[in-house]
Each structure stands twice: as structure tokens, then as C-alpha cells.
Structure 1
């Protein structure tokens, strides 16, 4: 009976080994084979045959792994599929920013909650030297907007040529991503950029160059891809450059500037009689988005063209960081009207209580993702940051209803819980001095908060 049991066990083991060997799914464990041999369940010859199959199976598995053409990875930047030679890559990422704003007194600005940004993007690389990105925003109800949609060539040393819907190279805070900015909203200088008539992003062609000392980008632009009709015909140029005077691991300081010119004719190829003008307008919220329009130049500017100029400084020393910008906007007018000159500036300073520091990327001329030293969920408390900012916007050159000057003071507390999750709390006090006293409140307090996830 014992011999029959031994023979049966041997047949089962040999059968399993044959199946595993033929499918190359799992190699037979060599320790088990030794035990079977020592117990007399298999002969020495059978042991050697099964061992040879195991070695062949392991070699096949190793060969298959080596021959794999791509690898899939997930991390703080989302999910990516990349070829083993690095020539091709496709990645998926996005962001969700949920805001709540409270205002007091509240006669004009309404309290509320909104999806500030909800974006999904696909980006990657083609044949080593080509990069691409397509990103859409779902934050506006029943509307989908394309934010980025471009193709870039990087085959020349330190040079990037990009065509498509992309950011206009003007203003440091505008070029920085909202993901990594210190405050919940950009400073009032953004009134000269984030408008339907000039815009943060435009269809265009840009060329960028960078080295350890210098970064610059210049381009020519039409209108935004989300616009049509008259807004899609005006053309402009813009350029931004900076010099990094200090650029080490623990410290950075740069100075720079940018210019933006735009012809506001909506049909440059038409006859003079057929040319109409795009209505230019500058307005801004009290650095709290749900508050709506707080200051407004109106649309009766009789513009022919605009020329904007900007100066910037920024840097960090360990956990201490700061930046400032000054922007002027000159509006050339039609019909012999006097040109208009508006301006805005801001200065901010911040400090990481937990020792982190800003993340500067020289090749992009931007701040990037804050690198959290000890993430929540991995035994840490995240990165804690405090900051303060003052900003000023002057639209008083001209007797326009609701135009004037505003002064904003903002205090911020940021908790970067992980490399992907952040919670923000801002207090804003905004004081305005209007050309005409048609609006009721001359000041407003705002308490704003944001929950943000970036992947």
C-alpha cells in the first residue's frame, strides 16, 4: 500500500511539474524536489529532469521581463506608461480645487462654495525629442474648456520650440501653476492678464532657452482656443526673461522682466472700414474668487492696442521665500483720445515652519511642487507654511464708473499634508477708492479656504 501511495504521489508531482513547465507560469520549488527525492518519491534521474525544467523556466521568465517594451508606474505625478528605452511616454494627471469664501460685510460679495478648478490632463513624450500635453477643465457648469494643448520639440540643446494653446510668457505669477502658488488666488496684477481679451493662454508659437544662469521665452500669439468670432482675430507678441543670480540647492534668487504687445484689431486682413475693435476690459475680484467683480475699468476704453511691461524678483533662503512684481499697462486709444496708463504691484513673503523650501525649476522659470519632508500617513505632520502679501491695483487713469484703486492685505496658512494633498486658509482685507461712489462698500473682509488634490 505504501508503495502505491508513493507511486501516486510521484505521478501527481510529475504531472504538476509537466503542466508548470509547459506553461512556464510557476517554477517547481527545488526544496520540494529534494524532499521528494530523499523520501524516495522520485528517483535521482527524475530529480535532475525536474531541476533542468525549473532552470529553463526561470530563464524564460527573466528573458520575458528583459524583453518587456514598457513599464507602468504610479506616484505623486499620477500614472505613466513608459517604454524601457525612454523614447515614449504617456502619463495621466489632474487636479481638483474646492473653495469656500465668506465675506463681511456682505452687501455685494456673496458667500459661497465652488469647484475652482477640476482638470484632467494627458501628457508625454514621442521619439525622445517630442513632448505633448492636452488638459481640459470641467469646473464651469455644463462647459468644458481646453487649458493646454500643445506639441513641443526639444531636440536642440537647452531649446524648446512649442506650438499650440499655451501660456503667454508674461508675469512670474501667471506662469506659475495655481497648484504651487503660495496664496489661494493670484495678486491683483493678474487683472492685466486673466481676461477674455488678453488671456493667460493663447494659440501661438514660442521658443524657450535656458542654462544655469538664464531663462527666456518669446512667442507670437493669436487668440484663445475657447474663443470665436471677433475675439479670434487679434494678434500679439510676448517675451519673458530672467537671470538667476543665485541658484543652489538651498537658496535661489533671480531678477527678470516681461513685455506683452497686442493689436486689438479683430480683422487685420480686412479693409479699414470693416475693422471693429475687441472690447478691452480690466476687472478683478478682492483676491477671493467667489466675491465677483470688485473693481472694473468698464469696456469703453476705445482701445487700438496695448503694451504691458513687467518686472519681477523672487527667491528663497532655506524655508524663507518671497517674490514681488510691478506691472504697467498702456492702452493706445483710437480717435485721438489720450492713452491710458494703469499699473499694479505686489510683494509677498512666506516661511515653512517645518523646514521645507520652495522648489525652483530653472528650465521652466517657475516654482514647482513643494517637496514635503514628512507626509501625513507616513508618520509625519506634513509641511506647514505661513505667508503675507500686499497688493495694489490702480485703474484710475480715466473717469470710468466703478474704476479706481484697491489695496489688499492677505495672510495665509497652508498645510501641505502630502505631496499631493494641500489645505489652504486665507484672510483678505481689501480697501478700494473708486473714481465714482456708485458702489456701496469701500472695504471688505474675506475668509477663504481650499482643499486641493493634485495627481
Structure 2
């Protein structure tokens, strides 16, 4: 993967050579603390094993118009199992390496694989495979409200890729810019192509600001942008699942994008037990040849309420959510935390004409979460989704429409 090796790997080497990696070996007593799992510390060196396991049960009812076959399905599956390590040394350096096994054949891939140099308390340089944009995408799935990030996250396709990022922050704001390659898990681009052998390349930036932070109320605002060039790889596809990682996608643009530009807006309000979170994104996709550019849009709104008095934990200096503090965990004789949630999703691909599945996706999702203690969560989601796709042939104006009802439950723990 040429871009990845030259851009990110070379940049990491350059950073280390320029800044120096001074690790002094001193004989110190090793101490142990508990952060979901034992963390070992020796002077400025720390080391901790990390991981998570999500086990799901899913029932799905698919209703298709026209010649499509209706069906019902259910499945028990391993959503993900991850194992990795993280740590720091010399006060200025931090690292993280985590691999995952997923359902559907048990494929293994890298998740976060990062090396960070902290120039000072507020500025750092990060290189590796990680996420850079979108409030819900950056926030760990361990702390997001619903079982899945939803159609919005599928649409923007802003998962982990190789990045060289510079990030700075204050008490209530963050700012970051990054150069990006492709995912570390992607296959190398073939070297015998007539057009060349370039992988996906791009750049992005994100800024957040929390104008209100009090004991009872917090407001988060954010904006981000991204540019991508597919290089010599396949065209970009804009598509959505039905608010679940299981099953087929019924709303999709097909492979149409050569370059694209995305602008995203974020907002969240926390007031005591209540949380409201929303994001909007517009992707302007440049297509091949004489095909006109298209503007594609998506947004979601999620509201949640803790019946047991907790509040979502927001970190303004990082611009993301963190682990909820449970007021009365079962490990202390309590009942844990209970949370109810409701989400609305919308993805609009209708500016792309002539594609049978480039329609509009909308969905409502209701959720119930129980946290026996901070590192264990049981979840239940019900989603009613509509894929309203355009007419292509015949007289049936709903020829490609697909309605999907999904009920899913999850048991998860992390350490």
C-alpha cells in the first residue's frame, strides 16, 4: 500500500527522528491499579491489556414490493471480540494496538493501531490506523447510546484509516487536521494497472467547542470536513444498513464516486439525565466522465433519558463521550443504571438519478439499556426502517421499496 507506507510510515519515522525517543531505563518498583483490567506502572512507563466482547441476538422481518421475496430471519452472532494493549512511556509517548474478530466467517482485522507523541499538555501528533471525524464515529461504541452507530455512519464511511494527525485542545475546545490514506486492513493496490497504483488519499479536519459546561448542563458544537480521492481503487459507494450490522443493504448508490467532499455538523445537549445528540452531513460526489456531480445528505437525532439519575459523560477537552458513571452499581448492592432512548435516521440519495436503489432511507429506533456496572451493558433495540427507492420499470411506483423491522439484543463487556 504505497500511500500508506510512504505517507504514514515515513512520517512516523520522521517524527521520531526529529523529536527523539529518549526512554531512560531506571530501576523502579512496579505498581498496579485497576482500570477495567490491571494497569501496570513503573515510573513513567504504563502497560494495560484492553479488549471487549459483544454478543448479539437478532430477529429481522423484511417486506419487499414488486418481485422481491419477503422473508424473516434470526441469528445469534459474535458482533466483535477485540484484544489489545495500550500504554505510555517517558511522559510524552503513548501507544495503542488492538485487533478484532468479527462475525461472518470470523475475519480478523486491526482496529486502533496508533503511536502518539505529546509535544505538550495540549498538542499531540498521532500516526496510525484510527478515526478522525464525526462525534458518533469517534466516540467508542462502548459509550454510544444505541447498539449500532446507524445509517449516518454507514453513509459517511468514516471508519479507521491510516492517518497523520496534529491535534490541539483547550479546556472546552478541540481542533485537529490529518492527512489520510486507506485502511490498514485493505488489500494493496495492484501494481499492474494501466492507470497506476495509488491507494485512496485525502485530508480532513474537525473542530469542537462546548460553550456551556455546568454541573447540570453541557452543550457541544462541532464541525468537520473531509476530501477523498479514490486513486486507482474502486469508486466510492454511498449506502446504508438498516440500523444494524446484520443483513443486506437496500439503499445504495452503487460505485459512483471518484472524488468527494464532505461537510459535517455536530450538536449535543446534556441536561441532568437527558441527552440529545444530532449530526448532519452533505457529501458532494464527483463522478467519472461527463456525469454530473451529486449532493447526498444524511442526518440523525438521538434522545436518551436515564431512569436511575445518571448523565452521559462528555469530555470537552477531547470532543467526545466517555464511560458513564453508574450511581448505584450491582457490585455495590444497587440496581445499576437504566436508560431509554429514541433515534430518527434519514439518508437521501435521490439526487443520483437512474440508479434503482438510490432512494431515501428513514428509520425510527427505540432502545433500552441496562448497566449492572460501568464495564457491562445489556442492550435491546427495535428499528422500523423504510427504504423508498425510485421507479425504474413498469407501473409500480414502489417497485424497489423495502421495509425492514429489526429487533436485536446485546450482551457486552469490556476491560
Could you report, residue by residue, the CA deviation over 1:129-172 in whole angstroms, capped at 9, with x for unpaired residues? 100000000124343201111110113231111011111x2211
- Are positions 1:410 and 2:410 aligned together? no
CA contact (8 A) 1:347 1:390 kept: yes
- Are positions 1:335 and 2:289 aligned together? yes
- Specify the alignment match of 2:108 in structure 1: 144
Q: CA deviation at 1:333?
A: 1.7
Shift in CA distance, 386/142, structure 1 to aligned 2, threshold 3 Å: closer
| Equivalent-residue separation in structure 2 for 1:336 and 1:105 (angstroms) | 37
Shift in CA distance, 370/401, structure 1 to aligned 2, threshold 3 Å: same
Q: Which of 83, 86, 101 does residue 120 from structure 1 map onto? A: 83
CA contact (8 A) 2:155 2:347 kept: no
| Equivalent-residue separation in structure 2 for 1:357 and 1:372 (angstroms) | 9
- Are positions 1:72 and 2:32 aligned together? yes
Report the 3-state secondary structure (helix = DSSP H, G, I; strand = E; otherwise coil) of the residue aligned with 2:254: coil
Where in structure 2 are the equivalents of 1:195-234 lying within 5 Å?
199-230=158-189, 233-234=199-200
CA contact (8 A) 1:93 1:120 kept: yes
- Are positions 1:420 and 2:375 aligned together? yes
Q: CA deviation at 1:68?
A: 5.2
- Specify the alignment match of 1:349 in structure 2: 303
- Specify the alignment match of 2:13 in structure 1: none
| Equivalent-residue separation in structure 2 for 1:372 and 1:292 (angstroms) | 36
- Specify the alignment match of 1:255 in structure 2: 221
Q: Which of 238, 241, 246 does residue 212 from structure 2 map onto? A: 246
CA contact (8 A) 1:312 1:326 kept: yes
Could you report, residue by residue, the CA deviation over 1:249-304 in whole angstroms, capped at 9, with x for unpaired residues? 432101111101011222xxxxxxxxxx52211222110221221311112x1x33
| Equivalent-residue separation in structure 1 for 2:383 and 2:176 (angstroms) | 33
CA contact (8 A) 1:138 1:145 kept: yes
More strand by share: 2
- Specify the alignment match of 1:284 in structure 2: 240
Q: CA deviation at 1:319?
A: 0.7
| Equivalent-residue separation in structure 2 for 1:223 and 1:311 (angstroms) | 24
CA contact (8 A) 2:109 2:185 kept: yes
- Are positions 1:445 and 2:409 aligned together? no
- Specify the alignment match of 1:4 in structure 2: none
CA contact (8 A) 1:298 1:401 kept: no
Report the 3-state secondary structure (helix = DSSP H, G, I; strand = E; otherwise coil) of the residue aligned with 2:330: coil
Report the 3-state secondary structure (helix = DSSP H, G, I; strand = E; otherwise coil) of the residue aligned with 1:400: coil
Could you report, residue by residue, the CA deviation over 1:103-139 in whole angstroms, capped at 9, with x for unpaired residues? 2246256321211111112000011110000000012
Shift in CA distance, 305/248, structure 1 to aligned 2, threshold 3 Å: same
Q: CA deviation at 1:309?
A: 0.7
- Specify the alignment match of 1:25 in structure 2: none
CA contact (8 A) 1:111 1:290 kept: no
- Specify the alignment match of 2:4 in structure 1: none
| Equivalent-residue separation in structure 1 for 2:62 and 2:234 (angstroms) | 36
| Equivalent-residue separation in structure 2 for 1:124 and 1:249 (angstroms) | 31
* Deviation larger for 435-444 or 397-406: 435-444
Where in structure 2 are the equivalents of 1:427-438 lying within 5 Å?
427-436=382-391
Structure 1 spans left out of the alignment, 5+ residues: 1-66, 267-276
Q: Which has the higher contact order (CA 8 A, sep 6+)?
A: 2
Q: Which of 36, 57, 60 does residue 103 from structure 1 map onto? A: 60
CA contact (8 A) 2:265 2:280 kept: yes
- Specify the alignment match of 2:123 in structure 1: 159
| Equivalent-residue separation in structure 2 for 1:315 and 1:263 (angstroms) | 35
TM-score (norm 1): 0.78
| Equivalent-residue separation in structure 1 for 2:46 and 2:154 (angstroms) | 37
- Specify the alignment match of 1:40 in structure 2: none
Structure 2 spans left out of the alignment, 5+ residues: 1-26, 64-69, 191-197, 392-396
Report the 3-state secondary structure (helix = DSSP H, G, I; strand = E; otherwise coil) of the residue aligned with 2:302: strand
- Specify the alignment match of 1:389 in structure 2: 343
Aligned positions, number: 369
CA contact (8 A) 2:388 2:400 kept: no
Q: CA deviation at 1:215?
A: 1.0
Q: CA deviation at 1:229?
A: 2.7
Shift in CA distance, 174/75, structure 1 to aligned 2, threshold 3 Å: closer
| Equivalent-residue separation in structure 1 for 2:72 and 2:149 (angstroms) | 18
| Equivalent-residue separation in structure 2 for 1:75 and 1:405 (angstroms) | 43
| Equivalent-residue separation in structure 2 for 1:155 and 1:121 (angstroms) | 25
